[in-house]
Amino acid sequence: MRIVGLLMWSLAALADAGSSSSGSGGMCLNGGTSVPSLTAGKHMFCLCADGFEGKRCETVKAADCYEGVGLYYKGSESKSESGRTCEQWDSDTRERHLSSDVKSGRHNYCRNLFYKRRPWCYVWKNQQLVWEYCEIPRCGFVSSPPLPPTNEPQPAAEVTCGQRTRRKQMKIVGGTVATVESHPWVATIFWLSKSNERVFRCGGSLIADCWVLTAAHCFPDNSYGTERNFSVTLGKNALNETDLTVEQNFSVAQIIIHEEFDNSEGNFNNDIALLKLRATHTKCAEESPSVRTVCLPPPQHSLPPGFTCEIAGYGKEKHGLWYKSQYLREAQVNLLADDVCRHRDYYGNMITDNMFCASTPDWSQDACEGDSGGPMVCEVGNRLFQFGVISWGDGCAKDFRPGVYTKVTNYNQWIEEKTGLTFTTAGAMSPHN
């Protein structure tokens, strides 16, 4: 599901932000703004940009971290995250973007030009000049406590969640074909059309033997109370192929949409839903190499920006195609800082506390239409935890338009209440004692 996007700043406006304030007659330097008096309208003082201080914003603060996306970072870090030494900025870049910088830009310090996600620089790699991000921490970021250790003895039900029997084939949009054994928790949700045709609707994830987690927007208003029209298949490699030796099929006993799901602003707030599978002979999903539950992280747990996670689904391989992928595909994406995703160059105030964003640095991989409801999983302690539900975005693999995901850790209590199950310390779900 995709929505119409927003406007972007021009690079010219961005360059102007780094020059002296025209309204102060050059009084304020390094992007500082002149604050006039209310009566005479004359310059009173300079409001300095991040990273600067002093009467005219002429002094560079000691910078061992960056604010926001590091637009005004003026520190002296000069190595990329791979440990390579940064190259000096060329004369054209200095003239256009670094004239008000330290030493007028005659240096090799990391900077955030062209509004990337954080400070970066050019380095030589394999005899080519390429850009890489720099290993500079964000100011004020506090990491979450680690997830529970996985080497402690656990009951059998807890040991297998988030574990796969076959390693993913990493080399969706920009992704590669995958085997279901590498994503055994992926569920395919079908609905029965008026012509009795079984049509793929959305992805989902198996969180307990009788429960699938998915997105609320997969079920429009007219699908309430029509559980009989929906079915779920686990262990499916291809939409147009059936392999009864590995697939497990279920009818849907109950559809539970989050009570506060709201798309009035076009941003799918609280985009989360549960499907209860109808048990066959008192049992639902049976664990196998192709079918396994995913772990769920503790409440409010978060991972740092840049952390690599993975998505999987049967969505379109490219925005604008009329058909979806027939095979399960996978891709890697990196988590974005919340303030970056909320920036007006990205999605602004469309992002709520119930969402987060992820993409790749070059915008080449992303979820797309048809992937909705599927899981974003992140590997912690050799197990996969589902941190996100694929929700929405503007286009697919589009610059400054990352994928948006429902923040699963906001809904632990809701999931427990609706399923009647309890989260274990290892991230699995089990019946109440």
180 and 163 in contact (C-beta within 8 Å)? no
Tokens of 311: 């998505």
AA letter at 401 = R
Burial class (CB in 10 A: 0-12, 13-18, 19+), 224: exposed
Q: What is the rounded CA–CA span in Å between residue 168 and residue 285?
A: 22
Tokens of 420: 């009647």
Q: What angle do CA 391, 395, 400 make, to 5 degrees?
A: 95
Handedness of CA 241, 247, 253, 259 (dihedral sign): negative
Strand locations in 281-396 (E): 308-313, 329-335, 355-359, 375-380, 383-392
Q: What is the rounded CA–CA span in Å between residue 206 and residue 213?
A: 6
403 and 358 in contact (C-beta within 8 Å)? yes
Q: Which residues contact 250 (CB under 8 A, 6 or more apart)?
A: 231, 232, 233, 234, 277, 278, 280, 284, 285
Of 24, 80, 205, 217, catalytic:
217
Q: What angle do CA 342, 344, 348 make, to 5 degrees?
A: 40
Number of H helices, E strands in the chain: 5, 21
Query: Which residue carries 């030009």 as its tokens?
Result: 113
Strand locations in 92-218 (E): 120-125, 128-133, 176-177, 186-192, 198-208, 211-214
Of 271, 366, 371, 394, catalytic:
271
Q: What is the rounded CA–CA span in Å between residue 118 and residue 126?
A: 23
Give the H or E element holding residue 340: helix 338-341
372 in active site: yes
325 in active site: no
271 in active site: yes
Query: Which residue carries 């906001």 as its tokens?
Result: 410
Of 290, 325, 372, 391, catalytic:
372
Which letter does DSSP use for residue 219 in this model?
S
The set of catalytic residues is 217, 271, 372
